[in-house]
Structure 1
Amino acid sequence: MTPPVPRGLSGAEIGKALERGGFEFVSVRGSHAKYRAEGRVVIVPMHREVLPGTLRSILRQAGWDVDALSRHI
């Protein structure tokens, strides 16, 4: 069983974790930021708190698991 995704992370915190993990900030459109690395594109909503289902989707886009996110936060 996969570990639960962390709760209470903001879009900015997730964006910083992606940058630490090798993703490059590309652009922002409205309240969503775009990051890119190794042919992958990840869209992150810049909300105060990103919901668990949305965070799971971000991790899937990045090719990460919860442990990879934890290493970069």
Structure 2
Amino acid sequence: MESREVIRRLRRDGWSLRNMSGSHHHFTHPQKPGVVSVQHPRRDIPIGTLRSIFRQADWDWRTR
């Protein structure tokens, strides 16, 4: 999955861009705790990193 697709999905779910640090975009959600960081631009996000993003965003891995 590309970083562009992950960012699009985060925004649809209500996450907003809080900060950018180099190539990393940091997103926060008004009702979910924590910060989700996504490296952008990135063609293919490694599977372990992608699972971590899904966990932080409180998404179900099986519905990706």
Same fold, judged at TM 0.5 (above): yes
CA offset at residue 45 of structure 1? 1.2
Any gaps of 5 or more consecutive residues in structure 1? 1-8
1:41 is the counterpart of 2:32? no
Q: Secondary structure at the match of 1:26?
A: strand
TM-score of the aligned structures, taking structure 1 as reference length = 0.73
Q: How does 1:47-62 map to 2 (within 5 A)?
A: 47-62=42-57
Cα shift at 1:63: 1.3
> What TM-score results when the alignment is normalised by the length of structure 2?
0.82
Q: Is 1:28 the equivalent of 2:23?
A: no
**Structure 1 residue 62 displacement after superposition:** 0.9
Instruction: Work out the percentage of aligned pairs sharing the same amino acid.
Output: 37
Distance 2:2 2:53 in 1: 12
Q: Distance in 2 between matches of 1:14 and 1:44?
A: 8
The count of aligned residue pairs is 60
Larger RCO, structure (CA 8 Å, separation 6 or more): 1
**Structure 2, unpaired ranges of 5+:** none
